[in-house]
């Protein structure tokens, strides 16, 4: 498939309480190396106001929505979608420039209904999630796949292949007909429920490793910037609903006990690390129990197809020119390199900045407001956390290795 006949894609971004990260996400999405996509933003008043005051105001489909229910919000996005494919990314995530190209590729196979990609964490290098399979009780376990090409995966024993809500795509007609996301999952397990429903009716899922997004885990009403939980109510409620929908009843109690233990251990770890107070542990567990009780009472009704609004496709003109630049130097040259990067990014070029200190410091990657990517760290330090603590390399060798590591995700041509 060439860019000239690329499948049309509707990108849905749901945003609540995070207008600043929403704008960074839109900055990244506006620079995709893909020719045929539209952007749909479903946002609360603050997020919607930020979009209206930005350059994106007349370039995206904006849906006002002020309710803490990500499933309903995503379904609103689906209803506005006019593309062949609907892709999802969170407001606290940024895609690599070639994200959509790699995410859409597996749809060349007509049997593929949904595709997921890899998700990098807040340091921009380590992975939060790669390929996973999920069981009927909502537990997930890792799968080993070829990380250089898409793979169609077949789940076992009533399981499903997991796609992450911040990096997934699905054929619009399929997600609409299956009823979209279940509104009973206001937060947590929403896409997992969809994965199991798709698997139950025999749809195939592919994982495309090079379709990468960077997920920051921004703070919300449920968690702090440190990722320490504030409230577990909806997590407990979602688990109860999920078990009732998918898991044999005789296995509910065992899963609930294990789930409580898992979250209690996380709370204790956060307390030990000084992220929450000792008194917060009991309060967190209370919200988990309260939520589980609420989930047991929620009425599970059949889902109905998501009705399409009939709006025309609002093609977004990507800012990306297709030109790519790699700028590199020692740490003392960072201000000069950043200035150059902002200038090049302003004209739509994809820019990657690498600055190295003469140390073994670990590396970090950030997408900057100026529209460019920046990687910083020690010349001799780790980038991938599986590397040795000390790398014996020259500056040119290190630059070549780091550029190669991100080239296909960022559209950097081979030299």
Is 310 a domain residue? no
Contact 162, 139 (CB under 8 A): no
- Measure CA 182 to chain center: 19
Which two structure tokens, joined as six digits, stand for 373? 């990517």
Question: What pLDDT does residue 2 have?
Answer: 47
Q: Residue 246's domain spans which residues?
A: 233-297
Is 302 a domain residue? no
Residues 382 and 246 in one domain: no
Total count of domains within the chain = 3
Residues 211 and 238 in one domain: no
Residues 137 and 205 in one domain: yes
Residues 72 and 175 in one domain: yes
Which two structure tokens, joined as six digits, stand for 291? 């939520």
Distance CA 312, CA 315 (A): 9
pTM of the entire structure? 0.95
Profile the chain (415 residues) by mean pLDDT over runs of 10 residues: 73 96 98 97 98 97 97 98 98 97 97 97 95 96 97 93 97 98 96 97 97 84 76 96 97 97 94 91 96 98 96 97 96 95 98 96 97 97 90 94 96 83
Residues 42 and 110 in one domain: yes
Question: What pLDDT does residue 1 have?
Answer: 44
Residues 293 and 329 in one domain: no
Q: How far is CA 339 from CA 231, 233, 346, 368, in A?
A: 42, 46, 11, 12
Q: Alpha helices, DSSP H only, in 247-277?
A: 252-272
Beta bridge partners of 214: 94, 120
Contact 169, 301 (CB under 8 A): no
Distance CA 173, CA 404 (A): 37
The tokens 């996973």 sit on which residue? 132
Residues 274 and 376 in one domain: no
């Amino acid at each position: 498939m060439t860019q000239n006949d690329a499948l049309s894609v509707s990108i849905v971004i749901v945003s609540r309480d995070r207008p600043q990260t929403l704008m960074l996400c839109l900055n990244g999405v506006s620079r995709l190396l893909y020719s045929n996509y539209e952007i749909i933003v479903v946002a609360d008043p603050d997020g919607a106001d930020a979009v209206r005051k930005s350059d994106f105001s007349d370039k995206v489909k904006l849906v006002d929505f002020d309710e803490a229910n990500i499933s309903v919000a995503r379904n609103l996005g689906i209803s506005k979608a006019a593309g062949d494919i609907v892709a999802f990314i969170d407001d606290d995530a940024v895609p690599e420039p070639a994200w959509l190209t790699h995410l859409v590729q597996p749809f060349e196979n007509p049997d593929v209904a949904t595709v997921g990609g890899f998700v990098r964490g807040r340091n921009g290098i380590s992975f939060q999630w790669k390929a996973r399979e999920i069981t009927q009780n909502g537990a997930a376990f890792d799968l080993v796949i070829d990380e250089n090409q898409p793979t169609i995966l077949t789940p076992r024993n009533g399981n499903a292949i997991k796609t992450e809500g911040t990096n997934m795509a699905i054929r619009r007609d399929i997600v609409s007909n299956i009823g979209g996301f279940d509104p009973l999952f206001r937060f947590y397990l929403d896409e997992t429920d969809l994965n199991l429903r798709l698997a139950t009716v025999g749809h195939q899922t592919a994982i495309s490793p090079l379709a990468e997004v960077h997920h920051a885990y921004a703070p919300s009403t449920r968690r702090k910037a440190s990722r320490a939980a504030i409230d577990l109510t909806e997590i407990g409620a979602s688990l109860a609903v999920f078990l009732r929908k998918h898991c044999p009843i005789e296995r509910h109690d065992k899963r609930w006990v294990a789930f409580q233990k898992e979250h209690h251990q996380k709370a204790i770890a956060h307390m030990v690390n000084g992220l929450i107070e000792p008194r917060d542990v009991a309060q967190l567990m209370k919200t988990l129990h309260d939520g589980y009780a609420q989930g047991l009472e929620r009425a599970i009704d059949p889902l109905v197809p998501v009705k399409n609004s009939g709006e025309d496709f609002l093609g977004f003109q990507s800012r990306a020119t297709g030109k790519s630049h790699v700028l590199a130097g020692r740490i003392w040259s960072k201000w000069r390199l950043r200035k150059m990067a902002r200038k090049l990014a302003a004209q739509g070029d994809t820019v990657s900045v690498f600055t190295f200190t003469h140390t073994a410091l670990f590396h970090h990657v950030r997408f900057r407001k100026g529209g460019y990517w920046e990687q910083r760290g020690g010349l001799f330090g780790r980038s991938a956390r599986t590397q040795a603590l000390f790398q014996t390399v020259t500056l040119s060798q290190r630059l070549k290795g780091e550029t190669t590591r991100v080239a296909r995700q960022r559209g950097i041509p081979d030299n």
